Structure 1
């Protein structure tokens, strides 16, 4: 079947690292156009891609099937709306939008036009998250009672040269990494009944939030599980990425999925051992089997961000179910809004 002709709305870090490599190596996609307002940084790597100078020029290209909205957070709604109105399928980088109202409007617009609208929740395909999902599905910890997900970062200074730090066009940790850890928790346990959160700016001269701790209360699939989600830019000593406690055992995992680091170094998806984690980073499983105590590393599954784009192709060309459907990601934005309200009001907020 015809390859999906794809355009990138920007060629910053997201475009270079998380989108262009997967589009370019897939036999199902063609990297047709890249938006660069003044530079031509993409020319060396993707000489066959057309460089356009504006978003209007991108969505005006005849024959373009799919547009990736990987621009600053505050532009997601407007650019996604305009791309849908131009008749293009759309992938939006996380966070989907900054408000639930914007998200619902885009979902309705895509449905009315019969177009695909997906959100790039790529960390559903992190190896550590896939491993956690496997451990839970196999019941290795018994009845789960506690789930902690922490995304550690360390940058104890504020960068004035990026919109992510100035707050002028979105940014902030809760909409950034919060969109990932919340989405992962919802994938495992469903939407919660309520949220309790503390969101703060802890770095000197900071203009956006750089710390959050969010509790999701009584999730629909497992109301008794206590869920804690956390991230901060002041974690010089890493905390575990995942901590799971059940009535028959625990699982503790340090370290981050290796795909982002590999992509940043210029490695391409599909290279040998892609997404595989060094054994030294495998999480520790502490449980009982056949009456004997087991305390040993549990093999991490390989991560696979390419699965996101494979699913996009299967959905658009073959009608298969869309795995990161914007309709369900509206719930993530709803939870982020609730977390901010909870932090401001210092109380539990019902969903």
Structure 2
């Protein structure tokens, strides 16, 4: 894998919510990364926020630009595969926003292309660096409540009105499961490994919904059950994480705050960046309820580690095979919901 000399020159493909809120601020926080080009149909928005950065209207031309080392793709899900494939074949390193592709077969093909061309391919599973997940993972590694047998992970919102945006229109990998599901699945696989079974229920609950806006998925890991839940009608959301183990129970009630901080203009490295005032709570062996301060989150670590990996100084923060396994579980859930029964995910 060729190692670029000097700053790693980045092309951002797409300049919507994901790029403006997550990718651009995180990349700008890493001195070794330099945004040189943005592919967008709204050049005025790019120039207002990234003055001096070149803008290209055609994303396919942008991903093969000779002056770019790294392509970051944050476009509608059905465009991920052709854009990433073209960039890899042009000798670029590639980051794809989640989900990796609309299908498992495309994910496997993309991973193979990266190997063939000797380029780094990664997927932006940024919630591995959330304060809530980091706190729960540390507590589980310590065996704080013994062996976890019941695990709940939920991301709920209150958005009763259907919005006219690609995520909520019919199409490949559209709907709430494909928007939130990759985060929930990736975290569960990081904690428990490969599931034996997947049982899913997907529904459209809001008036006028044309894609699924509610998801309830149960992953089986031997005697352990991981419940993954997402919905759009939760004015009073449930706890972010709930765990019951062989010695007791644990709750992380409130979610990570980084998205809200980024929207408010807080940036990686600023005072209080990633801090989480909501403590982890647990009770075990009939003792009193205890709390501990949550770990701080830092999603910009994805790009710090990515820059290290491109320079040959560390591992890929999210290996393609890990993202492919997420895709396999995502597809298994869709199959389970359609069949109305538990299925065994196909090992990629």
Q: In the alignment, which residue of structure 1 is the partner of 2:108?
A: 104
1:244 pairs with 2:243 = yes
Is residue 338 of structure 1 aligned with residue 332 of structure 2? yes
The answer to whether the Cα contact below 8 Å between 2:29 and 2:300 also exists between their aligned partners in 1 is no
User: Is 1:215 aligned to residue 212 of structure 2?
Assistant: no
1:250, distance to aligned residue in structure 2 (A): 1.0
The question of 1:58 aligning with 2:57 is answered: no
Equivalent residue number for residue 4 of structure 1: 8
Q: Deviations over 1:301-321 (max 9, x none)?
A: 001101100110111102421
SS in 2 for 1:37: coil
Counting only pairs closer than 5 Å after superposition, residues 125-136 of structure 1 correspond to structure 2 as: 125-136=129-140
Candidates 316, 319, 325, aligned match of 2:319: 325
Deviates more, 1:8-17 or 1:30-39: 30-39
Question: Over the residues paired in the alignment, what is the CA RMSD in angstroms?
Answer: 1.3
Whole-Å Cα distance in 2 between the matches of residues 83 and 323 of structure 1? 19
| Unaligned runs of at least 5 residues, structure 2 | none
Q: 1:193 aligns with which of 175, 182, 196?
A: 196
Matches within 5 A, 1:262-273: 262-273=261-272
Alignment deviations for residues 19-63 of structure 1 (CA, whole Å, 9 cap, x no partner): 111111211100111112143212233213211111133123222
What TM-score comes out, normalization by structure 2 length?
A: 0.95
Following the alignment from structure 1 to structure 2, what is the Cα–Cα distance between the partners of residues 318 and 294?
48
Answer whether contact 1:182 1:229 (CA < 8 A) is retained.
yes
Matches within 5 A, 1:246-285: 246-278=245-277, 281-285=278-282
Do 2:64 and 2:87's aligned partners in 1 also have CA atoms closer than 8 Å? Answer: no
Answer whether contact 1:146 1:246 (CA < 8 A) is retained. Answer: yes
**By how many angstroms is 1:169 displaced?**
5.6
3-state SS in 2 of match to 1:44: helix
- Is the contact made by 2:64 and 2:86 (CA closer than 8 Å) also made in structure 1? no
8 Å contact from structure 2 (residues 135, 280) kept in 1: no
* Alpha-carbon distance in structure 2 between the residues aligned to 1:54 and 1:88: 17
- Structure 1 runs of 4+ with >3 Å offset: none
Give the Cα–Cα distance (whole angstroms) in 2 for the partners of residues 169 and 293 of structure 1.
Answer: 50
Cα distance per residue 1:145-203 (max 9 Å; x no partner): 1111111111111112x111112464211111000001100000001011111011111
Residue in 2 aligned with 1:24?
28
Distance in 1, matches of 2:148 and 2:338, equals 31
Aligned residue pairs total 341
Q: Secondary structure at the match of 1:43?
A: helix
Counterpart CA distance in 1 for 2:113 and 2:172 is: 23
**Could you tell me which residue of structure 1 aligns to residue 123 of structure 2?**
119
Are 2:184 and 2:228, in contact at CA under 8 Å, matched by a contact in 1? Answer: yes
Residue segments in structure 1 that go unaligned for 5+ positions in a row: none
Task: Compute the TM-score of the two structures, normalised by the length of structure 1.
Answer: 0.94
1:76 aligned residue: 80
Q: Matched residue of 1:322: which SS?
A: coil
Q: Which residue of 1 aligns with 2:223?
A: 224
